[in-house]
A and B are shown apart, each in its own frame.
Chain A
């Protein structure tokens, strides 16, 4: 299926709009999530920094508390150098984070101990090792902290530093010790272990490139990440930024949050990270999101395409449906058109199709004072059966125009129905021919439901079934005849009536038909009233159940009134013509046919009878010709019957009326005249008889 440019544009348009919408939502979402994540990261970092500073402050405070709580012990230890050494062990034993402690005595404090004296204790393998560490090479009096405390007389914290074989991070709290005499005796130093700080700062960084640093109040880096993890240059950049040497914005992709101790020694903590790393999972998510959206759009486009295709198909199908139903209604129109629409007093028929077009038919028409009628039902419903029905209907018209024997009509119809009948459709068909002047009813039945005869009572016409039309090409159709007494009706129907079903799947049934007909007898209804009443009661019976089959009925009443009937038998002698003339003249008087009309009828009949007398019986054979005259004072019908050699005057090519006198043959004029005068001239050979029928309207 080819898509038009318009369809393409509309489809691409829908996908594009969807894509733009999804992208806008995605971007907004991304921005908001990013902002949220950054805020979250900031908060986290601030919390971490806050916790760290609190931790450090706490450690410092605890060290200071240790100092204060053991001050008395220390002051007691000032009594002699040994006790001074011992009291250090108390000091450092009291606080697990204090790794070591010393007392840097004012030189020459202890009499007998010359010069420098610095007892020092340190924890090593769970024990405390005490020793004097003052020596020539270690002159503590040069230590800035010692000097400072000695000068100010106030405690102070050193900046963190690394010491010892393990290069442990330490910070020393220096405290002035006064003896009982109020003399500044020594500076007590407590080494606080800060090794945990480095761990806490950098061991749990969420991102590979983020790190924490610790700076002194002056901005000197004292703790940071291992160089194996973060390059020194990067750390230096961070230090410079914290110290205000360079601007944060001048370094690519760096974000630094700082926090300071709110007490001496006012160290600074900084957390460094790159925004790009924080947003990396988000970017990854966004990429995934984008891929998913693209996939979704692809699916959408596919579905749209599928939908549009199926929708197009649906549209085409419904257009086709509409076309088809338009064609069906045309077919129905044609079918209806073929059915008789005008009904004389004593005939009425109807056809209610179950679908748009049906497979039933009925028809009737009058010819030669005879009523030809038929009813039929094509197997199946819908268009194919309606088509076959139309064919059969047309054929019936054509065939019965020439043929008046019902069985012959069926034989001819059967031959056509059997031709190319690949679908094995068949037609049940009943043909009747009712002589309106004599009441002679001839019929032949091709497997159709037997009609009812309504006279004094209701009975089924004993119509031999025969096979339906279209079954076998060589079917013989038996013809039957009965004599109808005036007032008798024939009721024909299709199984659409007898097999009309209600919601309970119960059929209307033949017995109900018979019953209703018996009832109608008492009410002396006309054919139209009877048929209409049947229609009503059938529809009432079926209720809201869908009509399963065509409903067709035809009713014919033989109700002759004021019939004229005479006949004359002549022998095959030309002298007999005068008897014929006399017979015809008296006929004209009786039927009040005056002047030209009477004379021309007389001429027509005479010509035909003379023909018979002259040619039917080759000399010297003797024979008779019988002339029947029947009339209802509207139409006059002559039936000329002889037992002579078969001769069909209607098949004779009429004599030319345009030849010159010399060229004209003598003869052939009689048939011409007769055929021109009469309304109809028809011939049939019936039981070794030539039967010629002439009719003329005499109204």
Chain B
């Protein structure tokens, strides 16, 4: 699992690569820490290279979403592949996230 977080003027971009499974979740939580401090900027998560997501990964995403909403930030998931989209759909997450 590779996570690259890029800060810019009006958004925070996180690029996820690989499999966000339970084993990777602990590390990912640390890597994604900056996303919890969005300060009103949009949070964009690039999922183009995200191959797999487990519920522990979903928990991270939900944590980010809750924090961002609290400060008026948007959370956008970009280029989500079918496998991940299925999981989001199965859990109903598809209705609470924005997609690009």
Interface residues of A (CB under 8 A from B): 574-575, 577-578, 581, 595-596, 599-600, 602-603, 606-607, 610, 655-662, 664, 666-667, 669-670, 672-673, 676-677
Contacts and interface: CB of A to CB of B under 8 A. Distances in A.
A666 B91 contact: no
Given A600-B83, A603-B52, 8 more contacts: A574-B22, A607-B55, A657-B92, A658-B95, A661-B69, A666-B63, A667-B59, A669-B59
B21 A657 contact: no
Contact of B92 (A658, A670, A677): A658
Contacts of B66: 661-662, 664
A669 B58 contact: yes
Contacts of A677: 90
A669 B19 CA distance: 18
A673 B19 CA distance: 17
Contacts of A574: 22-23, 26
Contacts of A656: 92
B53 to A, nearest CB: 8
Interface string B52-94: 1111101100110110010000000000001100110011100
Contact of A662 (B59, B69, B86): B69
B96 A664 contact: yes
Contact of A606 (B51, B54, B95): B54
A181 to B, nearest CB: 180
A610 B22 contact: yes
Contacts of A673: 55, 87, 90-91
The 5 A-B pairs with the shortest beta carbon distances in the complex, nearest first, are: A657-B92, A670-B55, A578-B23, A669-B55, A577-B23
Contacts of A595: 83
A474 B82 CA distance: 54
A599 B19 CA distance: 10
B91 A669 contact: yes
A660 B22 contact: no
Contacts of A599: 51-52, 83
Contacts of B91: 655, 657, 669, 672-673
Contacts of B63: 666
Contacts of B23: 574-575, 577-578, 581
A661 B65 contact: yes
Interface of B is mostly: helix
A596 B83 CA distance: 6
Nearest to A674: B55
A655 B58 CA distance: 13
A578 B86 CA distance: 22
Interface of A is mostly: helix
A521 B27 CA distance: 62
Nearest to A607: B55
Contact of A661 (B53, B55, B82, B96): B96
Interface residues of B, number: 27
A669 B83 CA distance: 16
A603 to B, nearest CB: 6
A690 B6 CA distance: 45
Nearest to A598: B83
B69 A581 contact: no
A600 B54 contact: no
A606 B21 contact: yes
A664 B54 contact: no
B21 A672 contact: no
A238 to B, nearest CB: 134
Contacts of B65: 661
A577 B22 contact: yes
Given A581-B21, A670-B55, A603 B87 contact: yes
B63 to A, nearest CB: 7
A660 B26 contact: no
Contacts of A666: 59, 62-63
Given A661-B62, A664-B62, A610 B54 contact: yes
A511 B53 CA distance: 62
Given A662-B66, A662-B69, A669-B58, A676 B22 contact: no
A599 B23 CA distance: 15
Given A581-B21, A660-B96, A672 B90 contact: yes
Contacts of A575: 23
Contacts of B51: 599
A180 B22 CA distance: 190
A677 B87 CA distance: 9
B62 to A, nearest CB: 6
A668 B63 CA distance: 14
Contacts of A669: 55, 58-59, 91
18 contacts: A574-B22, A574-B23, A577-B21, A581-B21, A595-B83, A599-B51, A599-B83, A602-B52, A606-B21, A607-B55, A610-B22, A610-B55, A657-B91, A658-B92, A659-B92, A673-B90, A676-B90, A677-B90
Contacts of A672: 90-91
Contacts of B22: 574, 577, 606, 610
A603 B82 contact: no
A662 B26 CA distance: 22
A655 B54 CA distance: 15
A596 B55 contact: no
Interface in B1-33: 19, 21-23, 26
A667 to B, nearest CB: 7
A596 B86 contact: yes
A208 to B, nearest CB: 125
Residue from B19, B55, B58, B86 whose CB has the most chain A CB atoms within 10 Å: B55
